[in-house]
Amino acid sequence: MIERARILEQMIINEPGVMDGEDIHHELAGGGHGRKLALKEIPQESDTYRYLIETEAQTISELYDPLPDVIIGMANSANRIARDTVGVLEADVELIDTEKNRFGHVVPTYAGRVLLRRLEPEFALVIEDVGTTGRTVAKFIEKLEIKYSIPRIEALFTWQRQPELTVLDRRGIAHNSIINTELKTYRSEKECKNDPDGYCYNNIQLLKRKAKHKRNEEPK
């Protein structure tokens, strides 16, 4: 799987519009600064996306025995990854879709809530496309544990962009990643301006986030 991960990483980097170039950086969710990595921009019919889904499915098959009862994609961008991965797993695994509520928090859809109550799964795997801090996933998993009493919930990230996801580690949430390659990320604009290697310090163009849900969103 290590070789597949390397190939997938290069395919993602080469995919137009997925990763910021050297001349720009973004304000990330929660106010951090870094090169944006938007896996949702990978075209559905592309070789990159097909390889990504194959790699997700193979990773899950190799890492988890028994397989999870349900796979849950984090809204919005990881929903399609979860859906298509379940489609190629060739196993009795149910998909749970999620959405963002009016506060910008990730929650299971109505159909997902009904399915979780009916199935009473023993093991749920949460899929997220990009992991920066793990905070959003941690909060989502904690709510699942409380509301649905799922004994085992773990997370799988397609790309982990920090060496450690300390929020998940502190809360004892097991997690894995397919690609674990650091992308320089600053927690705030101040950090980005003060570090001689920072994007803002070096006057690299900053693209601000849209205002929608900004107060409620946190780093992934």
In this prediction, what percent of the chain has a pLDDT beyond 90? 86
CA 203 vs. chain centroid, Å, equals 29
Residue-range domains of the chain with CATH: 2-207 (3.40.50.2020)
pLDDT band for 17, please (50, 70, 90 cuts).
Answer: very high
Tell me how far apart the alpha carbons of residues 181 and 183 are, in angstroms, rounded to a whole number: 7
Q: What does pLDDT average to over the chain? A: 93
The answer to whether 205 and 117 are in contact (CB under 8 A) is: no
Question: What pLDDT sits at residue 220?
Answer: 66
| Residue-level pLDDT at 30 | 75
- Distance CA(178)–CA(34), nearest Å, equals 20
pTM of the model: 0.91
**Given pLDDT bands bounded at 50, 70 and 90, which one contains residue 119?**
very high
Examine the pLDDT at 217 and tell me if it is beyond 60.
no
| Spatial distance between the Cα atoms of 30 and 12, rounded to a whole number of angstroms | 24
pLDDT value at 61 more than 90? yes
Q: What pLDDT, on a 0 to 100 scale, did the predictor assign at position 215?
A: 45
- Helix ranges (DSSP H) in 44-171: 47-63, 79-89, 110-119, 135-148, 166-170
The answer, yes or no, to whether residue 23 has pLDDT greater than 80, is: yes
pLDDT at residue 214 tops 50 = no
CA distance 146 to 149: 6
Q: What is the pLDDT of residue 211?
A: 65
**Across residues 53-79, what is the average pLDDT?**
96
Calculate mean pLDDT across residues 65-72: 97
Q: What is the pLDDT of residues 163-201, one digit of tens each?
A: 999 999 999 999 999 999 999 999 899 999 999 999 999
213 has pLDDT over 70: no
What is d(CA 100, CA 220) in angstroms, rounded to the nearest whole number?
A: 14
- What percent of the chain has pLDDT above 70? 95
Residue range 117-122: average pLDDT? 97
- Express each pLDDT in 123-167 by its tens digit: 999 999 999 889 999 999 999 999 999 999 999 999 999 999 999
